[in-house]
Amino acid sequence: MLEIKGLKVKLEEEDKEILKGVDLTVEPGSVHAIMGPNGSGKSTLSYVLSGREGYVVTEGSATLDGEDLLDLEPEERAALGLFLAFQYPVEIPGVGNMTFLRTAVNAQRKARGKEEMNATDFLKLIRAKAKELKIDAEMLKRPVNVGFSGGEKKRNEILQMAMLEPKMCILDETDSGLDVDAMKLVSDGVNALRDAGRGFLVITHYQRLLDHIIPDVVHIMADGRIVKSGGPELAQEVERDGYAGIMAEVPA
């Protein structure tokens, strides 16, 4: 499903290489986790995949179901089924959460040649999904993420994911800032979406999330590369020993 090969990325503004050759394949139906020290390039990878400006791909490729992602506009990538739950969801004063989501849902339906969802059906759907995530109706009316608490913002990301039903979901530290109960809610939300056709890339610092969303593969990213991959036990190793041991194994 998601196939990243030898991806090298530098910043547009300065000559600084952030990703130094990333190889990663996420198969349909699987959950891959990425862990790694601060500044190792995890968010950069997720931004480059979703099409944010400011990065230059110097080498390598990234495809989703065989389609070259890197040439596409962000909205085209979304239409293909890529979704990024942001590490820092953006506040957009003046744009209502509901308007935003309805516009997004219908834009994607249109891009896929489906009919637009009418207001009533949309309302029903979003109410149901919001309820599952314990997002109250009042929050839906507020401008996108404005005045939301850290945890509310993260739940709002998952709500968007649930509404858009993407094929490939990238979650960038969705667990950071969540209380224990919210972590459970969010994990349930993610697990509810798990199916044979959908892939997940879960970026996290904590093994706790991976107790709820059990990954098939755990990758360790350091200094712009995936330096080690393994099963869920790798996350436990990180939790217990930190990154020092793993880094020591990596050839310089």
Q: Which is nearer to ligand ATP, 78 or 203 (CB)?
A: 203
Q: Answer yes or no: are the C-beta atoms of 171 and 200 closer than 8 Å.
A: yes
Instruction: Give CA separation, 127 vs 140, 148, 197, in Å.
Output: 9, 18, 25
Instruction: Tell me which of another protein, ligand ATP, Mg ion, none is bound by residue 40, counting a contact when its beta carbon lies within the kind-specific cut-off of 5 to 8 angstroms.
Output: ligand ATP
Q: Which is nearer to ligand ATP, 40 or 160 (CB)?
A: 40
Q: Binder to another protein among 12, 59, 71, 75 (CB under 8 A)?
A: 75
Amino acid identity of 246?
I
Q: Answer yes or no: are the C-beta atoms of 183 and 174 closer than 8 Å.
A: no
Burial 68-96 (b: 16+ CB within 10 A, else e): ebbebeeeebbbbbbbbbbbebeeeeeeb
User: Of 7-15, 46-54, 187-195, 197-205, which part binds another protein (CB under 8 A)?
Assistant: 46-54
- Judged by CB under 5 A, does residue 30 bind Mg ion? no
Instruction: Tell me which of ligand ATP, Mg ion, another protein, none is bound by residue 95, counting a contact when its beta carbon lies within the kind-specific cut-off of 5 to 8 angstroms.
Output: another protein
Structure tokens at 222: 């350091």
- Judged by CB under 5 A, does residue 43 bind Mg ion? yes
Instruction: Tell me which of another protein, Mg ion, ligand ATP, none is bound by residue 174, counting a contact when its beta carbon lies within the kind-specific cut-off of 5 to 8 angstroms.
Output: none
- Catalog residues that contact ligand ATP under the rule CB under 6 A: 11, 18, 36, 38-44, 54, 87
Longest dimension (CA), the chain: 58
- Judged by CB under 5 A, does residue 204 bind Mg ion? no
- Judged by CB under 8 A, does residue 99 bind another protein? yes
Instruction: Tell me which of ligand ATP, Mg ion, another protein, none is bound by residue 187, counting a contact when its beta carbon lies within the kind-specific cut-off of 5 to 8 angstroms.
Output: none
Instruction: Tell me which of another protein, ligand ATP, Mg ion, none is bound by residue 50, counting a contact when its beta carbon lies within the kind-specific cut-off of 5 to 8 angstroms.
Output: another protein
The CB-of-84 to ligand ATP minimum distance in angstroms stands at 12
Q: Answer yes or no: are the C-beta atoms of 190 and 171 closer than 8 Å.
A: yes
Start-end of H helices in the chain? 42-50, 74-80, 97-111, 119-132, 137-141, 150-164, 180-193, 207-212, 233-241, 244-249
CA angle 45, 200, 192 (to 5 degrees): 145
User: Of 44-52, 133-141, 188-196, 222-230, which part binds another protein (CB under 8 A)?
Assistant: 44-52
Q: Which residues bind another protein (CB under 8 A)?
A: 50-53, 73-75, 77-79, 83-84, 86, 89-95, 99-101, 103-104, 107-108, 111, 143-144, 160, 164
